[in-house]
Amino acid sequence: MKKAVILCAGAGSKIWPYNRIRCKAMIPVSNKPCVAHSVDILCELGFEDIVIVGNLFVEEVKAYFAKYANVKVITDNAPKGTAFSLLKARELMGGEDFLCLYGDTVIDKSDIEALIDAFDSGKDNAVLADSIRSRADDCIGCEIEDGKIAQIWGHSGEATHFFAAFALKGNIFETLERNSGRFTNVEVGMMPHIEGYLEMSLSDLMCDGEEITAVTAQKKVFNLDKPWHIMEANCEINKRRCEALKENELAEGAAIDETAVIKGFVKLGKNSSIGSNVIIEGNIIVGDNTRIYNGAIIQGNTVIGNECAVRNACFIAEGSTVGDDCVISHAAELEGVVFRRVYLYHYMEFYGVIGENTDLGAATVCGTLRFDNGITAHRCKGRKEYAECFGDASFLGDYCRTGVNAILMPGVKIGAYSVVGAGVLLNKDVPDNTLIYTKQELVEKPWGSEVYGW
The residue out of 223, 242, 263 marking a domain boundary is: 223
Residues 395 and 346 reside in one and the same domain: yes
Distance CA 163, CA 215 (A): 10
**pTM summary value:** 0.94
Confidence (pLDDT) at 79: 92
Confidence of residue 235 (pLDDT cuts 50, 70, 90): very high
* C-beta separation of 18 from 85 below 8 A: no
Strand ranges inside 264-323, DSSP E: 266-268, 273-274, 279-281, 284-286, 291-292, 297-299, 302-304, 309-310, 315-316, 321-322
pLDDT tens profile 338-349: 999 999 998 899
Residue 188: pLDDT above 70? yes
Mean pLDDT of 182-190: 83
Residues 146 and 253 reside in one and the same domain: no
Distance CA 223, CA 132 (A): 11
pLDDT tens profile 312-331: 999 999 999 999 999 999 99
Instruction: Give the residue among 293, 331, 233, 214 at the shortest CA–CA distance from 33.
Output: 233
Residue 305: pLDDT above 90? yes
Residues 86 and 171 reside in one and the same domain: yes
- Please give the tally of structural domains in the chain: 2
User: For residue 241, how many C-alpha atoms fall within 13 Å in the half-sphere facing its CB?
Assistant: 23
Residue 57, domain CATH:
3.90.550.10
Q: What are phi and psi of 442, to 5 degrees?
A: -100, 140
The rounded mean pLDDT for the chain is: 94
Residues 171 and 318 reside in one and the same domain: no
Residues 214 and 296 reside in one and the same domain: no
Residue 302, domain CATH:
2.160.10.10
Distance CA 48, CA 61 (A): 19
Residues 195 and 320 reside in one and the same domain: no
pLDDT tens profile 236-291: 999 999 999 999 999 999 999 999 999 999 999 999 999 999 999 999 999 999 99
**Residue 454 in domain:** no
**Residue 443 in domain:** no
CB proximity list for 209: less than 8 A, separation 6 or greater:
none
Surface-to-core class of residue 443, CB atoms within 10 Å of its CB (0-12 exposed, 13-18 middle, 19+ buried)? exposed
- Per the structure, the complete domain to which residue 77 belongs is given by 3-223
Question: Which region, left, alpha or beta, applies to residue 282 given φ > 0 means left and ψ of -120 to 50 means alpha?
Answer: left
Confidence of residue 7 (pLDDT cuts 50, 70, 90): very high
CB proximity list for 416: less than 8 A, separation 6 or greater:
17, 20, 21, 355, 397, 398, 399, 400, 432, 433
Distance of CA 141 to the CA centre of its chain: 21
The residue out of 223, 250, 266 marking a domain boundary is: 223
Confidence (pLDDT) at 136: 58
Distance CA 57, CA 17 (A): 15
pLDDT tens profile 12-30: 999 999 999 999 999 999 9
**Residue 186 in domain:** yes
Residues 262 and 212 reside in one and the same domain: no
Residue 374: pLDDT above 80? no
At residue 241, the 3 state secondary structure works out as helix
Distance of CA 297 to the CA centre of its chain: 25
pLDDT tens profile 100-130: 999 999 999 999 999 999 999 988 999 999 9
